[in-house]
Amino acid sequence: MSSKSDAKQEREIKIVGFLCNWCSYGGADTAGVCRFRQPTDLRIIRIPCTGRIDPLMIVKSLIQGADGVLVSGCHPNDCHYAVGNFYARRRMEVLKRFLPYMGFQSDRFRYTWVSASEGQIWQQVVTDFSETIHRLGPNPGLHQTVDSAPAVSWF
Amino acid sequence: MRIGVFICQCGTNIAGTVDTRAVAKKAMEFPDVVFAVDYMYTCSEPGQKEIQDAISSHRLQGVVVAACSPRMHEPTFRRAVKKAGINPYMFEQANIREHCSWIGTDREANTRKAIDMVRMSVEKLRRNQALFSTQVAVNKRVLVIGGGVAGIQAALDCSDGGLEVVMVEREPSIGGKMAKLDKTFPTIDCSSCILGPKMVDVAQKENIRLYAYSEVEAISGYIGNFKVDIRKKATYVDWNACTGCGECTQKCPSKKAFDHFNEGLGATTAINIPFPQAIPKKARIDSDYCRYLTGGKCRVCEKICPVKAIRFDMKDEIVTEEVGAIIVASGYDLFDARVYGEYGGGRYPDVISAMQYERILSASGPYGGHIRRPSDGREPKEIVFISCVGSRDISVDRPYCSGICCMYIAKQAIMTRDHIPDSNCYVSYMDIRAPGKGYDEFIRRAQEEYGVKYIRGRVGRIYPRGDRLVVQGADTLLGVQVEIEADLVVLATGVECSAGARPLAEKLRISYDQHGFYMESHPKLRPVETNTAGVFLAGVCQGPKDIPASVGQGSAAASKVQALFSRDTIETDPQVAHVNENMCIGCGKCEQVCPFGAIRMKTLRDGSRKSEVLETVCQGCGLCNATCPNKAIQLRHSTDDQILAEINTLFD
Amino acid sequence: MLKRVAYYPGCSCEGMAIEYDQSVRALCYVLGIELVGIPDWNCCGSTPSHSYDPLLGAALAGRNLAIARSQGLDVVMTPCPSCLKALKTANQVFRERPSEFLDVLGMPFSGDVRAISVLQLLYEEIGPNLIQKAVKFPFKNKKIVPYYGCLLTRPPAFAQFDDPENPVSMDRLIEAAGAAVPDFPHKTECCGAALGITQRDVVMRLTGRILDMARAVGADALAVACPLCQQNLDLRQDQVNRALKENFNLPVLYITQIIGCALGIDRKTLGIEKLAVKTDALFQSA
């Protein structure tokens, strides 16, 4: 499954997914219930709302070695908390433009809106994003291992 | 921390494509894990028992269950661990079924993924804190916004349950759209005969306080303790004194005021009582038409009023009410048919809206219940009804079905045939939607018993010929073009959100869909709740519906309020934001982004500004957490540390 | 206000509708709008090209926009609604399938050249108020009804001009020219378009209906903004009279001719004498 890499041994592609509890996490559940086949690269973190996401979490994931980061929430205007995804959209749109300056291909990050009933769309999103990441290959990272110290805040 | 991990096989649902034994074995290597096992059905009675036994025998302080989606069984397992003496928030669930075993058959890859997911849950759990709900007192008064039939039903049900009700109505009288209707489908009940007594009830109940001609200005507070500012608009009449005798309306010389109740058919006086059955039955001066207020001369009503109730110097007044719950029944508007240039609504006087026709049919309407044309007063013989005007049409941004038009057209056609037996009624329709009890039979009666001619197809154009109107359209069943020379055309205008719906939603902090209808918590299972605790919905403000459904929702919302008020205090969800005051720099950004007004700034004794979370208002979205530049505000149970720990552990 | 636009006459304005071309040029000259020719302009493709291959059809029309862009212009004005649609389609196809479009076109194209009709130019860029001020010979005591046809305002999302079913832009311009404008319900009814060649009886019926309504509302003349509509209503009026046993005698003028007359441009320059139905009565003061 993973793409070739000459020096290192083959490493499993890992994608971090941040899914809001109300829409996309439910959408991923629906896709599962319907047994829609999906690639297994995605590791989902359940969050209350996409507005909960600090863009630094996405950057942190990439620095740590995530090959891709997928954020998914309620469709704009359908946010469980009314406006959370509007804030998220703005933050992530800015982040996407910044990623290349940090040395990451912006294609490694994607955000999308999937509702709790859109299992089929979730399958498409995951499959498509996974294919993109496989095409890009493993994240070369910042070429330095970050100490595996216990997780603390950024300060 | 001593952690126990339970891997559910879910029969073969998980075990079929995930090596649960291997996952459990691997879990034993994770930090703090002292016990790990896989089990056939963890959610079953014996499965829960297994967890509880392990908690006591291994002195567990936290539990991870890897099973189905937490949206399915998180409450189940939280209850189970609570019974065994652990705080329910010292529990994490890894979703290895919907997100893993069910989406692929590669057993090895699935097992690797499942191990990762368990590892993430363990790392999160290691940073969990015991959380405790708080209790807040409930103010057992309810605010009902909107005095249409849905709001009236909600108010009366609450009142019957012994609750104090505050009702706010924008118009000078309650009754809403239903008060304007002549008859109701499918029973042809007289609308005001069945609504009237309920309106009177509202006026007479001692525990209902009615603010008519008033609007909600601002709302603050939270479930159990809302504070509502209500703007009482100036009526220029002291309603405490006014007896509704109507002397003033007889003598008012300004007789060309727009008649809102009769949809602009005919005119009324500047000082008027909207209709004979109005509640409250009080006079109001329309300041746009009053000769004194516009021109500075007249004051006839002031002289004539037997109780001296006229107050020309009256100003809007703001009053504050405190309530524990809010029922929103703010209703709807009707589509403006002028948008369809081809129908000539607004240009041709005999092309009218269905609500105008309803007023024409009504015995209390502008023509005393005689069907006449607005242009020349002649009795129409050929009447065409056009359905879906502003419904199911993407080109006017109304893709939804208004749900009531098919039925009210049938009713109006039946009434027309009743009033004028030698008339011809035509209905141009796209599809007939009649899914209610007795509804389809009613349509059939219109067609078979009353001989209403149903033509399937859209009308393309209406234009005058002489004093009649040529309706040009298609009959798509016969595949021919149709031209009808009509005396009167009735446009079945659809339902759209009330013009004030969006600003009101902002005040209530509830969400609305792209067409302005309020969002319920869950489209099937929580149809009258909103995502703002303590705010409930009733009637068409939530989406198009007919009278029975609106009344049903009114009662449903009232029963939700009564369930809420059956307790003296309410328990809050502890998964809310929390401020670390040592780190807070008082920038106030969290206060700005909070969609619920759950954060306010306070000043400490040393003069420093700190933000403070109203835990009962906070809904736990975490926007503030992501916004805080200093990370001083943290969403409990989803803290930065917890989320970062989940990320970090994936790439160790 | 626009001062300089690229001018795309299209095939009609070189032949059947030469008087439309003449009146547009004369009117724009008087109103101070410079019309810049598109060198080596080609056919917009009309109906056949996009029926055969939508991409090819779009590229055909797009070539004219690309040339206009190379001349440093960002607005192309055309008198013909059918050409207008073709030019707008080019931009739309470019937005939807940019690489394929560029492949077929084979020249630089960025989709930033706007196509507008002469009516849009008169109504939105100049405006009825300015025109009213410039009018020297208003049509006093005359009733002129506007006929928009099918394409000028439709489909609405595409045309993005005026109300699709009850347009009023021409109404306002005719009023500015001093004539009365009765309510004309058939202003967007179909005239039969190109069916005049294959199924003439259809055009006779449809055109007859429009003329009948114009007569019923008491019109002294019809105003149009489409060469094909003009042809059906004016040139075929005699055929309609024979087919329907009628005696219509309604002059059908281009909106540019009507405004031109009101502004005092001489009738010969405007090509009035080229119209089939004689206009003498319209210019006699009542």
Do the chains contact at B622 and A48, CB–CB below 8 Å?
yes
A8/chain B closest Cα distance in angstroms: 16
Mapping DSSP onto H, E and C, the string for chain C reads CCCEEEECCCCHHHCCCHHHHHHHHHHHHHHCCEEEECCCCCCCCHHHHHHHCHHHHHHHHHHHHHHHHHCCCCEEEECCHHHHHHHHHHHHHHHHCHHHHHHHHCCCCCCCCEEEEHHHHHHHHHCHHHHHHHCCCCCCCCEEEEECCCCCCCCHHHHCCCCCCCCCHHHHHHHHCCCECCCCCCCCCCCCCCHHHHCHHHHHHHHHHHHHHHHHCCCCEEEECCHHHHHHHHHCHHHHHHHHCCCCCCCEEEHHHHHHHHHCCCHHHHCHHHCCCCCHHHHCCC
| pLDDT given for residue B511 in this prediction | 77
Is residue B535 within 8 Å of B510, Cβ to Cβ? yes
Residue B144, phi-psi category: left (phi > 0), alpha (psi -120 to 50), beta (remainder): beta
Supply the mean pLDDT for chain B.
Answer: 95
Question: Which residue among B340, B395, B464 places its CB closest to the CB of C185?
Answer: B464
| pLDDT given for residue A146 in this prediction | 43
How many angstroms separate the CA atoms of B55 and B38, rounded?
15
CATH number of B3-125: 3.40.50
pLDDT at A61 over 90: yes
Best mutation target among B338, B342, B472 (most C Cβ atoms within 10 Å) is B342
Best mutation target among C162, C166, C183, C190 (most B Cβ atoms within 10 Å) is C166
Fold annotation for B577-636: Alpha-Beta Plaits (3.30.70)
How many angstroms separate the CA atoms of B445 and B448, rounded?
5
For chain B positions 321-340, those within 8 Å of chain C (CB to CB) are: 340
Q: Which amino acid, one-letter code, is at C116?
A: I
**Among all residues of chain B, which has the CA nearest to that of C154?**
B395
Fold annotation for B141-233+316-331+498-565: FAD/NAD(P)-binding domain (3.50.50)
| pLDDT given for residue C145 in this prediction | 97
| pLDDT given for residue A153 in this prediction | 46
Torsion angle in degrees (nearest 10) through CA of B7, B8, B14, B18: 20
Mapping DSSP onto H, E and C, the string for B249-301 reads HHHCCCCCEECCCCCCCCEECCEECCCCCCCCCCCEECCCCCHHHHHCCCCHH
CATH number of C4-118: 3.20.20.70, 1.20.1050.140, 3.40.50.300, 3.30.530.20? 1.20.1050.140
pLDDT at B535 over 60: yes
| pLDDT given for residue B164 in this prediction | 97
Task: State how far the alpha carbon of C173 is from the alpha carbons of B125, B435, C258, in Å.
Answer: 74, 50, 9
At residue B514 the predicted structure's pLDDT band, cuts being 50, 70 and 90, is confident
How many angstroms separate the CA atoms of C185 and B462, rounded?
8
Chain B touched by A25 (CB under 8 Å):
yes
- For the record, the structure tokens of B350 come out as 């005999």
| pLDDT given for residue A10 in this prediction | 62
Best mutation target among A36, A52, A75 (most B Cβ atoms within 10 Å) is A52
Q: Chain C partners of B473 at a C-beta cutoff of 8 Å? A: none
Q: Chain B partners of C185 at a C-beta cutoff of 8 Å? A: 344, 461-464, 470
Count contacts between A and B (CB, < 8 Å). 157
Kindly report, residue by residue over B219-252, the tens digit of the pLDDT.
988 889 899 999 999 999 999 999 999 999 999 9
**Among all residues of chain A, which has the CA nearest to that of B99?**
A32
Question: Which residue among B347, B395, B470 places its CB closest to the CB of C183?
Answer: B347
Chain B touched by A68 (CB under 8 Å):
no
Task: State how far the alpha carbon of A90 is from the alpha carbons of A51, A82, A146, B555, in Å.
Answer: 10, 15, 29, 41
**B595 three-state secondary structure:** coil
| pLDDT given for residue B135 in this prediction | 87
pLDDT at A147 over 60: no
Kindly report, residue by residue over C60-71, the tens digit of the pLDDT.
999 999 999 999
Q: Chain B partners of C189 at a C-beta cutoff of 8 Å? A: 461
Is residue A45 within 8 Å of B646, Cβ to Cβ? yes
pLDDT at A154 over 50: no
Q: Which residues of A20-34 are buried (b: 16+ CB within 10 A; e: fewer)?
A: bbbbbbbbbbbbbee
Spatial CB neighbours of C127, under 8 Å, sequence gap ≥ 6: none
String of DSSP letters for B129-161: ------EEE---EEEEE--SHHHHHHHHHHHHT
Residues of chain C with CATH 3.40.50.11810: 136-283
Is there an interface between C and A (3+ Cβ pairs < 8 A)? no
B106/chain A closest Cα distance in angstroms: 9
Kindly report, residue by residue over B52-66, the tens digit of the pLDDT.
999 999 999 999 999
Kindly report, residue by residue over A12-42, the tens digit of the pLDDT.
899 999 999 988 998 999 899 889 999 999 9
Is there an interface between C and B (3+ Cβ pairs < 8 A)? yes
Backbone angles phi, psi at A142, to 5 degrees: -95, 15
Kindly report, residue by residue over B75-99, the tens digit of the pLDDT.
899 999 999 999 999 999 999 999 9
How many angstroms separate the CA atoms of C25 and C266, rounded?
13
| pLDDT given for residue C48 in this prediction | 87
**Among all residues of chain B, which has the CA nearest to that of A67?**
B651
Chain B touched by A151 (CB under 8 Å):
yes
B21/chain A closest Cα distance in angstroms: 20
Do the chains contact at A81 and B531, CB–CB below 8 Å?
yes
pLDDT at C37 over 90: yes
Is residue B275 within 8 Å of B173, Cβ to Cβ? yes
Kindly report, residue by residue over B313-345, the tens digit of the pLDDT.
999 999 999 999 999 999 999 999 999 999 999
Q: Is the pTM of this model over 0.80?
A: no
Residues of chain B with CATH 3.50.50.60: 141-233+316-331+498-565, 335-496
Q: How much of chain B, in percent, has pLDDT values that exceed 70? A: 100
Chain A touched by B372 (CB under 8 Å):
no
**B645 three-state secondary structure:** helix
DSSP structure class, residue B477: T
Q: Chain C partners of B471 at a C-beta cutoff of 8 Å? A: none
CATH class in words for C136-283? alpha beta
Do the chains contact at B644 and A151, CB–CB below 8 Å?
yes
pLDDT at B266 over 60: yes
Kindly report, residue by residue over C123-149, the tens digit of the pLDDT.
999 999 999 999 999 999 999 999 999
For chain A positions 114-143, those within 8 Å of chain B (CB to CB) are: none
Kindly report, residue by residue over B369-399, the tens digit of the pLDDT.
999 999 999 999 999 999 999 999 998 999 9
pLDDT at A149 over 60: no
What strand order describes the sheet that includes B141-145?
B208-211, B164-168, B141-145, B325-328, B535-537
Chain B touched by A53 (CB under 8 Å):
yes
Residue with tokens 């015991």: B130
Residues of C with CB under 8 A from a CB of B: 156-157, 163-167, 183, 185-186, 188-189, 213, 216
Q: How much of chain B, in percent, has pLDDT values that exceed 90? A: 92
Average pLDDT over residues C168-194: 94
Residue with tokens 């709807």: B332
Do the chains contact at B344 and C216, CB–CB below 8 Å?
no
Q: Chain B partners of C216 at a C-beta cutoff of 8 Å? A: 465
Chain B touched by A49 (CB under 8 Å):
yes
Q: Chain A partners of B648 at a C-beta cutoff of 8 Å? A: 64, 148, 151
Question: Which residue among B70, B102, B645 places its CB closest to the CB of A35?
Answer: B102
| pLDDT given for residue B530 in this prediction | 87
| pLDDT given for residue C286 in this prediction | 56
Question: Which residue among A36, A52, A64 places its CB closest to the CB of B635?
Answer: A52
Report which of C196, C283, C180, C190 is spatially closest to residue C237, judged by C-alpha positions.
C196
Residues of chain C with CATH 1.20.1050.140: 4-118
| Rg over CA atoms, chain C | 19
Q: Which amino acid, one-letter code, is at C256?
A: T
**A69 three-state secondary structure:** strand
Do the chains contact at C165 and B342, CB–CB below 8 Å?
yes
**Complex ipTM tops 0.85:** yes
Count contacts between B and C (CB, < 8 Å). 27
CATH number of B335-496: 3.50.50.60
Measured over the CA atoms of residue B68, residue B72, residue B75 and residue B76, the dihedral's sign is negative
How many angstroms separate the CA atoms of B74 and B575, rounded?
14
Do the chains contact at A151 and B104, CB–CB below 8 Å?
no
- For the record, the structure tokens of B257 come out as 């005021």
Torsion angle in degrees (nearest 10) through CA of A42, A43, A46, A51: -60
Average pLDDT over residues B414-437: 96
**Among all residues of chain C, which has the CA nearest to that of B466?**
C216
| pLDDT given for residue B520 in this prediction | 87
Do the chains contact at C166 and B464, CB–CB below 8 Å?
no
Average pLDDT over residues B346-357: 96
pLDDT at B304 over 70: yes
Do the chains contact at B643 and A57, CB–CB below 8 Å?
yes
Q: Chain C partners of B395 at a C-beta cutoff of 8 Å? A: 156-157
Say if residue C248 is exposed, middle or buried (CB neighbours under 10 Å; 0-12, 13-18, 19+). Answer: middle
Spatial CB neighbours of A95, under 8 Å, sequence gap ≥ 6: A55, A58, A59, A109
User: Please, what are the domains in chain A?
Assistant: 11-142 (3.40.50)
What strand order describes the sheet that includes B214-222?
B214-222, B225-232, B317-323
Query: What are the start-end ranges of the H helices in B487-541?
Result: 501-508
pLDDT at A151 over 90: no
DSSP structure class, residue B36: E
| pLDDT given for residue B506 in this prediction | 81
Spatial CB neighbours of C16, under 8 Å, sequence gap ≥ 6: C227, C231, C235
